[in-house]
Every structure is written in C-alpha cells, then in structure tokens.
Amino acid sequence: MLLIAAALLTASMHSLGVVEAPVVPTVQTAAVVTTTAVAPVEPVQGPVPVPVSAGPGDADAVDLETLARARGREFLDDLVAVDPRDLERADADDRVLATAQDHPPTALDVATWWAGLPSATRSRLVAAVPAVVGNLDGVPFDVRDRANRLTLRTGLADPGTDTARAALLGQVDVSLQHAQGGAPRSLVALDTRGAGRAAIAVGDLDTADDVTVVVPGMFYTVTGQMHDLTDTSAGLHDEQAAAAGAGRGEAVLAWMGYRTPDMSNILSLDLARTGAERLERVVDGLEAVRGDDRPRLNVVAHSYGSTTALMALSSGRMQADTLTVLGSPGSDVRTASQLAVHRGQVYVGDAHSDPIAGSGYFGTDPGSPGFGSVVLDLSAAPAPSADGVFRRPVGHNDYLKPGTASLHDVALIAVGRGDLVRDQAQHGRGGGHAPGTAPDMYLVRPQDLQPRD
C-alpha cells in the first residue's frame, strides 16, 4: 500500500508542479530586470582568459594534483600558486570542487586569505575559477555574485551543457530577475553538480541591518522551485522593509543550500544533518564577512527545514537572534534552552489544517508545552477583511503567502519587534491542534506539499 500511495503522490506532484520536468522555465512578469550588486558579466564565449602571475614551470608553482589533495588554508594558498595551465582546468575538476563546496576551509580563514590578496590576483581567480570563489563562505558577497553569474552565463552559453543542467541554470537565471523597483538579487551560491544547490539574496547581505535565512523543506529542488523560493523570500523582504520603516536595511536569503528529501528518503534525518552543517557554514561566512558590523540574524525554517535548523542551532557551532519554525515535524531538541538563540526568541507557526505541524514526527514538537517557544496566534479570519486584517494561513504551505498573519508575524520578528507578536501569542501549544497520532508521511496530501514545502 505504501508503494501505491507513493506512486500516486509522485504522479500528483508532477501534475501540480512539485516535481518538474527538466525544461527551462519562462518568465510571466510584465516588467522584469536582471540586477546585481556589481557590474554585469557579459556572456562568455569560449575559454576564459587567465592573467598569468607565474609562468609554466615556475619553481613556486603547484600542479593540479597537489591542489586537489590540499585542505584548509593550504588549499587556499595552493589555489593562488597553482600553475596557470592547471588553474584553467581546476574549475571543472571534481576533486577541487568537492573541497571548495563540500569540505571547505573555515570562513574566517577564507576571509583573512581573501583580504590579503592583491586586486589583480582576486580578479584572476574570479575569472579562472568562479565555481570555487563563488561558493567559498568568507568571500565578500558581491564578489561571489560576480563569480557565480560568470558560472551561470558560461553554462547557459555552452552548447555542450546537457538538458538537466541547462534546466537548473535556466531556473536560477529566471530567479535572479525581479519586477521593476524590486530589491536587487544576488547569486551567492551555485553548485551545478547533481541535483544542484543555490542561494539567492534579496537585498544587500554586505550592509543589511537585518538578515533572514529562509530554509525550505521536503521536495524542494533548484530546478523545480528556486524561482518560487526566491519570490517568497522577496515577499518576506518587502514585508520586513514595511515593518522596519525607513533607514533600516533588510536582506533575505533564499537558501536552497542542501538537498531536501524526496519520496526515497522522506523518513530519514541524514539530509537534515548534512543541511545543518551547511547552514552553520553559511552563518560563519556572514559573520566572517561582516566582522564587527554583525547584522541581526533570523532563521525562518519550514517543514523538514525546521528540523535542519533546530539541529544546526543546537550544535554549539551556530547562533541566531531569532528562530521561527513553520509547520515543523519536530526534532531531537527537547527545549528552547538547548538552542543558541536569544531567550524568548523561538517562535512556532501552527496553521489550521496543517497535518505536519505538531506531529512530533522526528522528535519533540517545538510548539509543545514546556519547550519554551512562543506559538504564533494564527486564528485570524480565513480571508482578508475590508479593513486590512490579515487572513489566517491554512494547510502546510500557506505560512509565507502574501496577506497572511503568519507572514506579517515573521516579518515583525525579523526586524526586532517580536514583542508585538508575543503580546498576541500563546506560550506552548495553542494553535488549534490537539495531540494526536503522527501523520503517515507517505500519505500527506499533495496539496499540502505544494508549492511551498
């Protein structure tokens, strides 16, 4: 029966758009512009020219094999010293990419290393190894945007790019476009290996006073949902900007930086553990780049993404000013005191008719009595009223949709006005869900998983 249910669910997801065919998406907005915090990169035709800093056979140069074996600060130093002929090949070497994107040097080491490089060397590395530079936490975000856009445009212009990779790159390209007058978007991570990973910032991560990281849940892929996640993050950015008022900068990171579960591994926590480690590195990178000018950091995590975020914030390696979890299936974190989050700043969203919220499927429900969280009051009317009252979210994927009470609450929390939320909230479970049996994750309705799970 489980196999039949899984097959039906998968078929439904294809028809509803949760799992999409590998085609390049189209844009349906009337007026869109492509923006970047730096000068746009022209499409690349043919190999990228690499300025030479050391001639072939230079005694101080290292070869590609040495670079591929290096780790930590040695990897960074070898990247500068590698023979120019090998540097041209390093950006496509699986071993080099695995080090840069899976087992990188610490963000603090990267920031220190990058700050000490001459301008000409930085330009040479961006041009020669953009897939490396663009994914190193600790490199300034405007530089990463420039490097990743070079990877993006080179891939789109290459007639040898396969269909699946072209679809991934096309989705990212569309996601970077925004309506006239909207906040600028920057590409701060792009991993084209396998199912891919990406992160797009709405607003300026280098200067924002408030930074919010949005962590998605199951069934999300770059090819299928990057555009949706980025637009959702843009909506949250605008809500935050309205709540903060003039003079305060906002940035929201649409972070699809880990592989989310599909039907084959929906019951496993392995991807959440890997995602937690990657999330920790993202925060390390933000702190390394910003230094003493640390922004207010908020984590907003949905569904399986909340399990990932709870793991990260209980690891002892990451901290945040606030954590808001929406539709959470729980985790092995038992109380808010185990989280590196400011006291009283853990919030839980539990929408009407959400079969996942409150289930405790993966452990303790963060909205349960005694956890120490603030459960959002989402009992507003089911539809917006004429006087502008926000509507209540319904189901598993409604939390960050425009006009919902939950979107407004999340924005208030992110700009430091959680006091307004707490005045209306209930401490402990109170969102209308009575304790019950955890839902069968194979039988969750497709409409509860699309489009924002």
pLDDT digits (tens, 9 = 90+) for 118-146: 999 999 999 999 999 999 999 999 999 99
Q: Exposed, middle or buried by CB within 10 Å (0-12, 13-18, 19+), for 178?
A: buried
266 pLDDT band, cuts 50/70/90, is confident
**What pLDDT is stored for residue 425 in this prediction?**
73
Average pLDDT over residues 240-257: 95
Q: How confident is the model at residue 385 (pLDDT cuts 50, 70, 90)?
A: low
Quick one: pLDDT at residue 290? 98
* Domain residue extents for the chain: 64-155, 178-448
Q: In whole angstroms, what is the distance from residue 143 CA to residue 137 CA?
A: 11
* Helix, strand, coil abundance in the chain, percent, nearest 5: 40, 15, 45
User: Residue 430: which pLDDT band, with cuts at 50, 70 and 90?
Assistant: very low
- Euclidean distance between the first and the last CA atom of the chain, given in angstroms as a whole number: 24
For residue 283, name the pLDDT band (cuts at 50, 70, 90).
very high
CA distances in angstroms from 123 to 44, 61, 78, 94, 290, listed in the order given: 16, 18, 16, 23, 21
pLDDT at residue 88, as a whole number: 85
Q: Which residue has the higher pLDDT, 246 or 324?
A: 324
pLDDT bin (cut points 50, 70, 90) of residue 423 is confident
- Chain CA centroid to CA 324, Å: 15
Q: What secondary structure does DSSP assign to 30-74, as a single string?
A: SSEEE--SSPPPPPP-SSPP---SS-TT-TT-B-HHHHHH--HHH
Structure tokens at 186: 């920057």
Q: Residue 371 carries which DSSP code?
A: S
Neighbours of 438 (CB within 10 A): 15
pLDDT of residue 20: 34
Q: Is 294 exposed, middle or buried (0-12, 13-18, 19+ CB in 10 A)?
A: exposed
Q: Which residues are registered as beta bridge partners of 364?
A: 331
146-165 core/surface letters (b: 16 or more CB in 10 A; e: else): bbbbbbbbbbbeeeebeeeb
Q: Which residue has the higher pLDDT, 438 or 287?
A: 287
What burial class does residue 27 get, using C-beta atoms within 10 Å of its C-beta: 0-12 exposed, 13-18 middle, 19+ buried? exposed
Find tokens 């006087």 and name the residue: 387
pLDDT at 61: 84
Mean pLDDT, all residues of the chain = 84
* pLDDT greater than 70 at residue 392: yes
**Cβ contacts of residue 245 below 8 Å, gap of 6+?**
none
Sheet containing 185-191, strands listed edge to edge, beginning at the edge strand earlier in sequence = 185-191, 197-202, 250-256, 210-215, 296-302, 322-326, 346-349, 374-375, 426-427
Identity of residue 349: G
In angstroms, rounded to a whole number, what is the distance separating the alpha carbons of residues 231 and 233? 5
Q: Please, are residues 366 and 333 in contact by the beta-carbon 8 Å criterion?
A: yes
Residue 197 reports pLDDT greater than 60: yes
Q: Which residues contact 384 (CB under 8 A, 6 or more apart)?
A: 390, 391, 403
User: Is residue 10's pLDDT more than 80?
Assistant: no
For the ranges 25-39, 125-139, 260-274, 329-343, the lowest mean pLDDT is seen at 25-39
- Measured distance CA(315)–CA(95) in Å, rounded: 28
Question: In this structure, how many other beta carbons lie within 10 angstroms of the beta carbon of residue 184?
Answer: 17
Q: What is the pLDDT of residue 326?
A: 98
The domain at 178-448 falls in which architecture?
A: 3-Layer(aba) Sandwich (3.40)
Residue 114 pLDDT exceeds 90: yes
Q: Tell me, what's the pLDDT at 164? A: 97
* Neighbour-count burial of 245, counting CB atoms closer than 10 A to its CB (0-12 exposed, 13-18 middle, 19+ buried): exposed
- pLDDT tens track for 316-348: 999 999 999 999 999 999 999 999 999 999 999
pLDDT, greater one: 60 or 107: 107
Res. 383 pLDDT band, cuts 50 70 90: low
Q: Specify the pLDDT at position 40.
A: 43
Answer whether residue 201 shows pLDDT above 50. yes
Q: Is the pLDDT of residue 222 over 70?
A: yes
Residue 16 pLDDT > 50 = no
DSSP letter (8 states) at residue 364: B
Q: Chain-centre distance of CA 315, in angstroms? A: 19
| Three-state secondary-structure class, residue 173 | helix
Q: Report the length, in residues, of the chain.
A: 453
Quick one: CA torsion of 234, 219, 403, 415, rounded to 10 degrees?
Answer: -50
